[in-house]
């Protein structure tokens, strides 16, 4: 598995298994077991996914050594304060049944992100977290955070897919020493992504699926990819992307698909911010 080196030297497997929307506890546990047995070593969860406990059971049941694994979780908005991070992180750690987390992210750029960031720096200094980062932050907000604190975020987990490519943002983050990580790389299949003729034609050249083409396109940009599925055969398929490479012609064709807009919602929409802020988690 190819890895990406973060700005503090920590190595991250470039292809991770995402657990968003796997809310049934047994399905979440089984999916993590299957993913690890298929070859995934990077597992991504979050407080707001409400599946940390099941993910933790899956990690334990899969039997891989802890040192082999890279585990990410995220602090939800209602816990994004100095004390909220410290208290909720310990609960996340207990639910996951782990002694440390490899990557801890602020899930959204709202609430007291500065106080929360300083608490995350404390957790990193104590060895409870190996790397800290952010999710859904603009480049400007990421730079602002790093300029007035000791630690530059290692990662910014953002929406990246063929319909919302964010090429400029990826490069701007890279210039600041921040690695981009793609959530929703398949745009949850919106706008018939899996039937897209451009991607299907590229896939046919290499005997690969549309999903495999998308993952390959992202890792060739050194973007960490979180691919989610509950089907073991799809997990194995998603991992089988290291035996081909896209041509410049392929990449130019994929560029034409960019709609330059989120396939879900804008993080600058006041009503969406109010809706997210109103989701108070008892976790």
The annotation places the binding site for substrate at: 107
Provide the Cα torsion 134, 140, 145, 147; round to 10°. Answer: 140
Burial code of 128-158, b = ≥16 C-beta within 10 A, e = fewer?
A: bbbbbbbbbbbbebbbebbeeeebbbbbbbb
Secondary structure class of 205 (helix, strand, coil)? helix
**Known catalytic residues?**
49
Report the binding-site residues.
107
Sign of CA dihedral 119, 125, 126, 130: positive
**CA 256 to the chain's CA centroid:** 25
Query: Using an 8 Å Cβ cutoff, are 133 and 103 in contact?
Result: yes
Between the CA of residue 69 and those of 32, 103, 121, what are the distances in Å? 12, 11, 22
């Amino acid at each position: 598995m190819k890895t990406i080196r973060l700005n503090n030297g920590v190595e991250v497997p470039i292809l991770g298994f995402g657990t968003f929307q796997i809310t049934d506890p047994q399905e979440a546990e089984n999916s993590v077991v299957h993913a690890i047995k298929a070859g995934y070593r990077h597992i991504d969860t979050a407080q707001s996914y409400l599946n940390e406990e099941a993910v933790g059971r899956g990690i334990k049941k899969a039997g891989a050594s802890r040192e082999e694994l890279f585990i990410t979780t995220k602090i939800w908005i209602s816990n994004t304060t100095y004390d909220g991070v410290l208290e909720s992180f310990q609960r996340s750690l207990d639910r996951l049944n782990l002694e440390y987390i490899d990557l801890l992210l602020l899930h959204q750029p709202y609430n007291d992100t500065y106080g929360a960031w300083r608490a995350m720096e404390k957790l990193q200094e104590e060895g409870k977290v190996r790397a800290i980062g952010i999710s859904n932050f603009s480049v400007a907000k990421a730079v602002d955070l790093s300029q007035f604190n000791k630690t530059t975020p290692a990662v910014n987990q953002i929406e990246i897919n063929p319909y919302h490519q964010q090429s400029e943002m990826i490069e701007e983050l890279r210039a600041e020493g921040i690695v981009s990580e793609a959530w929703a790389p398949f745009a949850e299949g919106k706008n018939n992504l899996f039937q897209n003729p451009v991607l299907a034609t590229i896939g046919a050249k290499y005997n690969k699926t549309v999903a495999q083409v998308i993952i390959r396109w992202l890792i060739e940009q050194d973007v960490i990819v979180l691919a989610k599925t509950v089907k073991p055969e799809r997990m194995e398929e998603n991992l089988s992307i290291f035996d081909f490479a896209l041509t410049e012609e392929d990449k130019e064709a994929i560029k034409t698909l960019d709609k330059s807009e989120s396939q879900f919602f804008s993080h600058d929409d006041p009503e969406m911010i109010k809706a997210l802020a109103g989701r108070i988690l008892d976790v």
